[in-house]
Amino acid sequence: MTRRSTMMSVYGWLLFAPAAIFLIAFTYYPTLATLAKSFYSQGTALRPAEFVGLENFEYMLDDDVFWQVAWNNLIYAIGTIPVSIALAILMALWVNGKLPLKSLARMAYFTPTILPMIAVANIWLFFYTPDIGLIDQISRLFGFPSHNWLGDPSTVLGCIIVITIWKEAGFFMIFYLAALQSVSPELEEAAKLEGASRWYFFRRVLFHILMPTTLFVLINAVINSFKLVDQLFILTKGGPDNASSLLLYYIYEVAFSFLDQAYASTLTVVLLVVLALIAVGQFVFLDKRVHYQ
Amino acid sequence: MLKILKHSAKRLALAAALSLGLTSAATAVELTMYYPVAVGGALTKIVDGLVADFEKENPDINVNAIYAGNYNDARIKALAALKSGEPAQLSVMFSIDIYELIEQGAIVAFDDVVKTADEKAWLDSFYPALMENGRTQGKTWGIPFQRSTIVMYYNKDAFRAAGLDPENPPATWDELVAAGKKLTKKNGDNVDQWGAMIPSTGYPYWMFGALAMQNGQTLMNGDGNETYFDAPATVEALEFWKSLGSDHGIMPAGTIEWGTLRQNFLEGKTAIMWHSTGNLTTVKKNASFDFGVAMLPAQKRRGTPTGGGNFYIFKDSTDEEKAAALKLIKFLTQPGRTGEWSMKTGYLGTRADAYATPALKAYVKEFPPAAVARDQLEFATAELSTYQTGRVRKLLDDAIQSALTGSKSPADALGAAQKQADRLLKRYR
């Protein structure tokens, strides 16, 4: 190798170094360390940690709370992903066209995203309070009886889903808005000339043009369905009886309330594997259907 | 030229060395302290004020008091600081964290830090009921700071409107049910005012400890390795709690939220609430009606768990820091100061001589509810605390919530919880 190309290699690695250091320190090393830790028992001052192989994973499969939490997370994902994406597309289409006070409408839709989740949760705690809360006060005007929204295991997960959709739909709307702005108006004009309805135009043309954005938003929504658990700390703490507990919240509980980092590592490994599978699946299957310009 | 330079350099070096020597002689002891706040009110300002007073009296000790959220957060922060190598020297943490902290090797017993006979006697000068959670293996590990019991707040105006005597709140379970029925005001399908509310989120095991004690049953033993969740008296207590909502209709069915309970009481949504005495001053400031505070009702006897946070000294600190921490703790728990804390928050004065100070004496005379928690100490018991305390507590919390929401019967729920608790605690016996 010539001296010049060696120097170029060195430059290359130096430029790569900062990003590499961060990635290794905060992503790759913790992942491997967590995987390693999941094969050991939890050590205490009286009893140091020892290698136990797959025992933690067996314990996890036996754990009723883990299955409850996994099921909750599945419902949470199914509840939040399609609805928030659909809502985002709708909102984007609406504020994209000619609209008086367009900026105000866009800001109104985006405001939930700006608020921190903890603040949002504190507000919604009082929305959901039975009798004196906003939702019960409004429903009472229509003659419905008051309901213990957060205290009823059958409605609590739905309430959490509503808050998440409320929070992330505005965020996804921004991406769709940007994509819609770059669509050539000739397409819509041509469709109008041909006599196509707006729904037909959306279904056959616009939706496919928006596919790259949809793929991006879908990935974000999937990540959020595992990541957005902050509201649980304020609203339900996973209750009643784990009816609203989600995987990441359970991991936090195990790691920091029960101080059992070995089991928490086990759960984290499961979370990582699930996310990896979904990511791979998304890129493999959906990439074929995405038309890039 | 060089000679002058050398000369001034020498002088500079001498001056630097002297000043360094002086500062190291005057180096203050640095203490970091984490503390939680679990009730409403501007408690961080009060703590800052107390710490400033201490620093004024002790210029050679610098205290950095850091607000750390609720009890869970405070424990997490303190233990994380320990692991990260920049530990705190002392902290206020949940009184029931004691077994966890001992198992992690994080704290020292006060018996190993006190030196003089006076200091040893000081360890015994607090209310014995408050020391129960802080003592194990024959040693003292925690000194009471912000301690409480559950008390029954009741709306005297609502009592009068329902034809009940506001100076005679319910003293037994049966009286509670009877009063609750009179106080519950229905409006078609909705209820305008509930008779009573006992919160079942946040700290359900704490409320349940009261009900179990009132039925003559403690929830665990003094060594932290045995629980009594499925004892007949325990099951009866949970059945009673459930019946308040499902049979007698004086309490909403399902779980009742801890965070909004005080608001419910202040807005008149419930005539009676069971809550920590640490809420007293905030309720006093914000109640627009005449309210009273009473001891919890009895079944076989009166009973309440104690609650709140203790001071702990961490093992990972120098002897000098431990001594300074002890000084700070003694300062903050002096009769006058614990009395001041009690008046500003509603927490208990942690020692009998606090109630003998003129300030607290006058306050109690003018505002009798401030003495209810203290009088109830006679019937108080330790809060639920065992090894693996986080997991055991969650087992009981889940059992209580599943019984109150009707997904399991009290006997089934508590039986399952006891079985799992036994599995966890077996190896500590």
Give residue limits of the domains in chain B. 29-148+307-381, 151-306+382-428
User: Which residues 385-404 in chain B show a CB within 8 A of chain A?
Assistant: 388, 390-391, 394, 397-398, 401-402, 404
At residue B40, the pLDDT reads: 65
Model pLDDT, residue B23? 46
Quote the CATH superfamily of domain B151-306+382-428: Periplasmic binding protein-like II (3.40.190.10)
CB distance A150–B257 less than 8 Å?
A: yes
Q: pLDDT higher for A147 or B52? A: B52
For residue range B71-111, list pLDDT tens digits in order: 888 888 888 888 788 889 999 999 999 998 888 888 999 99
Question: Tell me, what's the pLDDT at A48?
Answer: 81
Contact B202/A146, CB-based, under 8 Å?
no
Euclidean distance between CA atoms B116 and B119, whole angstroms? 5
Q: Which residues of A touch B388 (CB under 8 A)?
A: 258
- Residue whose pair of structure tokens reads 């009866």 in the numeric block: B236
Rounded to the nearest 5°, which phi and psi values hold at A152? -105, 115
**pLDDT one-digit tens code per residue, B298-318:** 999 999 999 999 999 999 889
State pLDDT tens for residues B101-153.
888 888 999 999 988 888 889 999 999 999 989 998 889 999 999 999 999 99
Cα distances (Å, whole numbers) of residue A27 to A22, A216, A219, A228:
8, 21, 18, 19
Alpha-carbon distance B87 to B325, whole Å?
A: 13
The reply to whether residue A131 touches residue B191, judged by beta carbons under 8 angstroms, is yes
Strand boundaries in B234-288, DSSP class E = 270-276
Note the CATH architecture for domain B29-148+307-381: 3-Layer(aba) Sandwich (3.40)
Instruction: List domains and CATH numbers for chain A.
Output: 64-289 (1.10.3720.10)
Rounded Cα distance between B334 and A270, Å, is 51
User: How many contacts (CB atoms, under 8 Å) link A and B?
Assistant: 89
Q: Which amino acid is at A22?
A: F
Do the chains contact at A151 and B257, CB–CB below 8 Å? yes
The 3-state DSSP class for residue A196 equals: coil
pLDDT at A164 over 90: yes
| CA distance, residue A169 to nearest chain B CA (Å) | 28
Rama region for A217: left / alpha / beta (φ>0; ψ in -120 to 50; rest): alpha
List pLDDT tens digits, range B5-15.
666 666 766 65
Looking at beta carbons, which residues of chain A come within 8 Å of B191? 131, 146
Q: Indicate the residue of B79, B190, B263 with minimum beta-carbon distance to A146.
A: B190
Q: How far apart are CA A50 and CA A43, in angstroms?
A: 7
As given in the structure block, the two tokens for residue A210 are 């928006």
The answer to whether the CB atoms of B394 and A253 lie below 8 A apart is yes
CA-based R_g, chain A, Å:
24
What's the alpha-carbon Rg for chain B, to the nearest Å?
25
Question: Is A172's pLDDT higher than 50?
Answer: yes
Asked if B249 reaches chain A (Cβ–Cβ under 8 Å), the answer is no
